[in-house]
Structure 1
Amino acid sequence: MQDLPQKLTHLDSQGQAQMVDVSPKTPTRRQAVAAGRIRMTPAAFAAIEAGNTPKGDVLATSRIAGIMAAKQTAQLIPLCHPLPLHKIEIQLNANPQLPGYDIQASVTTKAETGVEMEALTAVSIAALTLYDMAKALDKSMHIEAIYLVSKTGGKSGDYHSGL
């Protein structure tokens, strides 16, 4: 486990929230991967897999929503920096054992700060969109286990969750 920083960078000397000044940093290549899942009834899973859903292509819509969400992260999370995103990849993999879908987002940039929040936001919104697209089939779906899988680049170095 990593040591905690002595000072929280998002707080000023009075303890007020602030956006960190990253301008002195050199832009470097950074990548983050996040994952999560959505669990549903076997009937809902079968309908999505068969392409038999009332709102259309659930997986394509969820993938596009994840990409759009990554690009809007700074609009959603108050202290995130707007970043030039160079690649966003969303995977929704069928998992019959859940039943449901394993979701993974990979986000890449060359910037002064990392893209962990963008990857986590992409997974979250892809899962929420999948829920929205399929809620007529199953309102009991569960969005679960959204976490940072890995990140590379930056002063703090690489991180791999080991999960």
Structure 2
Amino acid sequence: MALTHIDKQGQASMVDVSEKVQSQRQAVAQGRVCMKQETLELIANHGHKKGDVIQVARIAGIQAAKKTSDLIPLCHPLMLSKVSVDFELNTESSCVEITALCKLTGQTGVEMEALTAVSVAALTLFDMCKAVDPGMTIEGIQVVEKQGGKTGHWRKQ
């Protein structure tokens, strides 16, 4: 995660991380898209006329993680070593649960990349299904775990 620095003139700039020690860093983010039961069944049965909604959203999430520094001002461009975006169809809550994991060896964390992956995967699901279910909601996008760097291992309680 890039930290923002405000100089004496009040100008924002990227934080210089060149003095930070490289370490293995990893972040996990989650979120969900809630919808009508019929929409969830359409996704589960691969019945959407636009194709496999989950696979399109997975690729979109991975691609978004790789482009995070193009989307978020002052965010450092990172050489990610792993990005995974996984989905669970929760019939009880009628939601698609999204989990993204981003990993690298570097001088700054990957929380923003994991959050961006979940966000864009959720937006892709919404975009592909909005014609059949315009009332969907995107909820709970958050970092749930991170490892590496000065903070070490952190997990949301």
- One-letter identity of the residue aligned with 1:124: S
Equivalence map 1:88-107=2 (5 Å): 88-107=83-102
Indicate how the Cα distance of structure 1 residues 155 and 13 shifts in structure 2: closer, same or farther if over 3 A, else same.
Answer: farther
> C-alpha separation between the residues in 1 aligned to 2:82 and 2:4?
27
2:105 alignment partner in structure 1: 110
1:147 alignment partner in structure 2: 142
2:75 alignment partner in structure 1: 80
- One-letter identity of the residue aligned with 2:107: E
TM-score if structure 2 supplies the norm length? 0.95
1:161 alignment partner in structure 2: 156
1:49 alignment partner in structure 2: 44
> C-alpha separation between the residues in 2 aligned to 1:155 and 1:84?
19
- One-letter identity of the residue aligned with 1:153: G
| Contact 1:34/1:147 (<8 A) preserved | yes
CA RMSD in angstroms, aligned pairs only: 1.2
> C-alpha separation between the residues in 1 aligned to 2:143 and 2:33?
16
- One-letter identity of the residue aligned with 2:36: T
- One-letter identity of the residue aligned with 1:96: T
Q: Deviations over 1:89-139 (max 9, x none)?
A: 111100012202110000000011000000000000000001111112101
Q: Deviations over 1:14-37 (max 9, x none)?
A: 332110001111211000000000
Divergent runs of 4+, >3 A: none
| Contact 2:4/2:12 (<8 A) preserved | no
Structure 1 position 9, deviation (Å): 4.9
Structure 1 position 12, deviation (Å): 1.8
Q: Any gaps of 5 or more consecutive residues in structure 2?
A: none
Q: Any gaps of 5 or more consecutive residues in structure 1?
A: 1-7
Indicate how the Cα distance of structure 1 residues 69 and 9 shifts in structure 2: closer, same or farther if over 3 A, else same.
Answer: closer
> C-alpha separation between the residues in 2 aligned to 1:108 and 1:32?
7
SS of the residue 1:85 aligns to = coil
| Contact 1:91/1:104 (<8 A) preserved | yes
Answering whether residue 17 of structure 2 is matched by residue 25 of structure 1, we say no
SS of the residue 2:48 aligns to = coil
1:3 alignment partner in structure 2: none
